[in-house]
Structure 1
């Protein structure tokens, strides 16, 4: 899948809901198989106490998601973005498509373990999104992972009829809302970066007022060696950049630690688009 690069150059170029361990301490009753004896002892009330009760089994509780960066948000623009506004040390790591359930799951596990904040642009036709819904749900609910609209079937929107553009955006909008309970507006990523005034106007009528492009790519929409992905990260993981990756092929999942090290070494803070921009959908 060809990736446009920024401006002239880029045009050529890039729940698990964890319950607390709740002990249900209950005195044994008739038929429980427990017998009170002088050796097991009794409580002050005379109720028998279990003998040699095993300790509760350990439960792995993942860390709470990190809080969102304390930023003064800028109003979301009505128009195209390919970078974050102003000066700073923020990085918007965004990922698209989702043809691989394995890669989506690995990104979710990486985000949960590392605290990395991600914006995922959903192509709704891929079943991998539904397959990972339970894993992604707590990350989406906390805001650590933001979902954006990447159309239903990854069609070039500029080639479609007006009704076709509406269908592509609306179907994925509805899927995200029904599956994850969030509103993906106002950010949409036109496939291949292809959009024009007509596409933008129709998308805006649906509430998708921000065509979201990028300033650098991991170039992994197709399968490339993991070492190349690291090289592209070194090139593009820079302050205020929106960088695009893809949820399609496994090599990127083998170098998450190296990608995170680049972010740490450069003093960057990962953010979602909703961390940086305010809108009527995400104040």
Structure 2
């Protein structure tokens, strides 16, 4: 079931076209990757989704509510965690949650329950009485996200949630995101400059560049849409020219690269590892190591846009 529907959204700033007829849907309970290089139009679309900006044309619905004509009802279902920290550093973690919870309209017993829940999920229960100014960058990020889920949003937008944090806090955030998606059914729209994070967390992805759709679908659909291929590396006791020629004749092997005592096979979907192993066995060549390298989303992104994600 689609919980976020974006249809033909266009936005200009003066004569500059920032979003060009953007459309996609996000399903209930999924972690959806929304990625693109700097200046691609990501922030503009997020600002429109959260009604900080209005589209020039097109339609956005959150849980069936139009973000322009039914703005209040739509925003009741959204949690937004911006890239820039929004915290009161002179207050404790608990006091920050209490303050922002009150802005959501929470009070009394329910507010305290939500605060304790957010502290537990973000791993900050033992730090709740400490002032935020003493927190590490990672702890501040986790508290920022904890504030974003106080109202139990059906849609949580996370904009670069792991920028400048330590690996431990990054793992906390990943566990946190997977947990609310699985246990609460929360839909997460995740933006990041770290493609490996999108690879780990998201199944479906929308890639935007210069305000236009570059690719949209599951990771496998996107990978299969371009001519990028997986690789297998085989480390051998020795490599001969005859072996290279034999391997090049095997169906599914597109290229064979000889690197001293290692061969790297570029393969497609027709490749069967048994055929390559039979060639090596027939030549009495001992295999020391085999490793498989699947094409990465980062490689696909570079192929599609001609630039890295951080450009």
More strand by share: 2
TM-score range, shorter chain: under 0.3
TM-score by length of 2: 0.24
